[in-house]
Structure 1
């Protein structure tokens, strides 16, 4: 039976509300996060809303049965710590069991001489994985509202917004036709190996030879492609023909043998389903490699695949010198004058200008906006007309040549001042990337979106916590000055 949070008053147990937050300026990112989390926990206005959102997602329909598991507060704390520190689950497991500050904030730390409570590695993965992108988005709305109260934003005060996009990379290698073909082939072989270990399949005695021979031919093609000099085209064609021939032979053997594979047990059935998926990918990349190298065709972009594992991955070219290509998904963020991220979106094969209409609807429904700045990539005549209806001062530089009226607008003192301030969002993006949002290590698109959402919420909490620590530090500083003066 899972609980929201009930800290038992047991002998030696340290209370969450008594957690001492470090206030030194060089304490790092974690104290800021802890200060914000502690404030949420001790304030009924915020913890009620947070627990309600978490409970709606995590509590099962019949919550009165089963083992207790981690409570909602522990799940929330650990999910934020991971993305604040940009750490793996191994490091998170270590922190959950040996960092006294985090353990006291989770409500599991005991004093000296009392029995310790420890959390297993798999328990952390299973419980943090219960959160979804939608749940964290709801939590982030509460966090932003909490942040505005901490930064003492007046109710009628309008926001000064800045919007920009960047690429969060997937955990994939650089794609080429021949290495994607190798990925497909080796995964087919892996599935057959699993079936062979479970059922002792006939006809696959040389399965290791299949793997090594395909890999050697893939490397030979790579060397021929990278080589220079006389006869390169002939070497490339010969290597490609040998590689394709071996891959086609493997595919034909798999199609012939697959009907005889055992599927009586559930695990065998799942392995065969995975095998069928990788066989389809193998067939696809045999065709693509043959069309590109042997037939000399140019493959349309919509037919290309950039990873057989993270198939949501996009090839993003933003016109920059470095990096000139990024593999992942574009994410658009909108920050306010307090450097809090009030809105974010994982973009689905969309350009910057295509998201503005929906973004404006979401923002205008929640906030009053005094100014809003974009870069040229978001410009569109319809976008400008829509935004001007709800924004007092709009900074949306025109893409292309400006007429006389547009030049006067873009060179006005207010426009230039806000355009110069727009660079603040770049520093917010840089901070997000340093905290883990440069490359997502989690597998699967739903985990990718959750990773982005958790990064945003952890960033906002840390910003809020830094403000709380600054307020805590002010009385200490004034007291020390009085002592020196005395």
Structure 2
């Protein structure tokens, strides 16, 4: 049976004498004041299963949640988290691990990733409400900005995407051969191997001659097409095997590989051979993280991930985060961010400060109608200072205040891993972002107590 909380803390779970240990202790005290958090986490970990009073105890929901916070705050890998939970006195005290109990990196990963992004978002709201109750953050003056968090993919090129498909297909074929050992069904080798594909990708990368590059691409497309034609025969073999979870998984993976390879070959012919342009939203940029968007912001380098919109306050707490699909303009999202603050605090902020990308006359007018007194944009969009704020003093004050969100974003990217989300899938991507924000906010609150 999985417990929600350890009712009797271990005598050996003691914090060491250190400022970092004091911070962890304060974080733990804040969390202990909100028991509903563990109810949500416990529900996610059970995943709708009935509570069983038989079998192994497993990790308590409190242990899993605290381990997730510790991982995101310190930016450890699961292997590093495993080591520190075995080695660190303060780490074990924060996670409340009983003496003599240790957990592997795979067990930690399996459990932490079960916590949904909806739960993380609700936990963040709890922390924001706690900050309001304690007087740390009232949400009267806020600032908004957008940034891009990359997905965990390599920089895509048509040749590297073809290579990815062949590599995955080769792996699926190896697994199929392992399952076919006792059946002796005939399975042909891939006509175009990973090694040859990699050599061609490197040749494309290293050549400066456009005609030669196109010639190699043509050869790559033909040879990858031979592999594509073999996939149906592999699927046929897999379907003739005895049905099992492994066989069904391989069939699914082969069908995905076929779909991806077909789309990427068509894209490569369209772009490289026919010299045509594909819209960014129609491009295939990854066969692993298919939800990835192509984000182009003015003259900056193209990024691959998702655009997120952050709202922070005077306390530097992240009050709200909106994760978007596609590449919506900042101006379009401005009123959504303002309305989100009304939903959170049941009132609109008195002052709001934003980057020039959010600026428009309509946004100023709509915000003023909603009850926002002062609206600062780094671009005034043809309006006079007194039309957007009540005085030049307030204008300059909000101008300086807006710059603070850049330091918030920098701290999140450098200190809490928000430069790249490493968890798989769109839901994993969202969970990663929200877990980083919760860890960041909890750290700020611990230093204010």
TM-score (normalizing by structure 2)? 0.90
Residue of structure 1 in register with 2:421 after alignment: 440
Instruction: Give the CA deviation at 1:355.
Output: 2.2
Aligned to 1:473: none
Counterpart-to-counterpart distance in 2, 1:409 and 1:149: 29
- Give 1:437 deviation, angstroms: 0.8
Give 1:339 deviation, angstroms: 1.0
Rounded Cα–Cα distance in structure 1 between residues aligned with 2:353 and 2:444: 21
2:287 corresponding residue in structure 1: 308
Q: Equivalent residue for 1:148?
A: 132
Separation in 1, partners of 2:431, 2:139? 30
Query: 1:22 maps to which residue?
Result: 18
What CA distance in whole angstroms lies between the structure 2 residues aligned with 1:315 and 1:9?
48
SS of the equivalent of 2:322 reads: strand
Q: Does 1:40 align with 2:40?
A: no
> CA–CA distance in 1 between the matches of 2:177 and 2:389?
71
Cα separation, 2, equivalents of 1:123 and 1:281: 31
Alignment of 1:48-447 (within 5 A): 48-59=35-46, 60-65=48-53, 66-110=55-99, 116-152=100-136, 159-200=140-181, 204=187, 206-207=189-190, 210-224=193-207, 227-228=208-209, 232-233=210-211, 235-261=212-238, 262-266=240-244, 267-319=246-298, 321=300, 324-349=301-326, 350-367=328-345, 368=347, 369-388=349-368, 389-398=370-379, 400=381, 402-403=382-383, 412-434=392-414, 435-447=416-428
Larger mean CA deviation between 213-222 and 281-290 belongs to 213-222
Deviations 1:106-128 (A, max 9, x none): 32354xxxxx2222322211221
- Deviation, 1:75, is 1.3
Structure 2 distance, partners of 1:387, 1:54, is 37
The 1-side partners of 2:156 and 2:334 are apart by: 31
Following superposition, the deviation at residue 274 of structure 1 comes to 0.7
Residue 289 of structure 1 deviates from its aligned partner by 1.2
Q: Is the 8 A contact 2:145 2:355 kept in 1?
A: yes
Rg comparison, structure with higher value: 1
The structure-2 alpha-carbon separation of the partners of 1:370 and 1:411, relative to structure 1 and needing over 3 Å to count, comes to closer
**1:93–1:120 CA contact under 8 A, matched in 2:** yes
- Is 299-308 or 423-432 further displaced after alignment? 299-308
- Superposed CA deviations along residues 50-87 of structure 1, whole A, max 9, x for unmatched, are 22332343344421344321112111111101110111
Shift of 1:203: 5.2
Aligned CA distance change for structure 1 residues 50 and 260 (closer, same or farther; 3 Å): closer
Sort the Cα spacing of 1:144 and 1:213 in 2 relative to 1 into closer, same or farther, 3 A: same
**How many matched pairs?**
438
* Contact kept? 2:285, 2:292, Cα under 8 Å: yes
Contact 1:21–1:34 (8 Å) recurs in 2: no
Q: C-alpha offsets along residues 291-323 of structure 1, whole Å, 9 cap, x if unaligned?
A: 2222222223232111111111122222355xx
Task: Tell me whether 124-133 or 203-212 shows the greater mean CA deviation.
Answer: 203-212
TM-score, normalised to structure 1's length?
0.83
Give 3-state SS (helix, strand or coil) of 1:421's partner: helix
Change (3 A) 1:99 1:9: closer
Residue 483 of structure 1 is matched in structure 2 by: none
Give the superposition deviation at 1:436: 0.8
- 1:74–1:319 CA distance, 2 compared to 1 (3 A): same
Q: Which has the higher contact order (CA 8 A, sep 6+)?
A: 1
Distance apart, 1:250 and its partner CA:
1.2
* Cα offsets for 1:263-295 (capped at 9, x unmatched): 422211210111111111111111111122222
Judging changes above 3 Å, is the alpha-carbon distance between structure 1 residues 237 and 104 closer, same or farther for their aligned structure 2 residues? closer
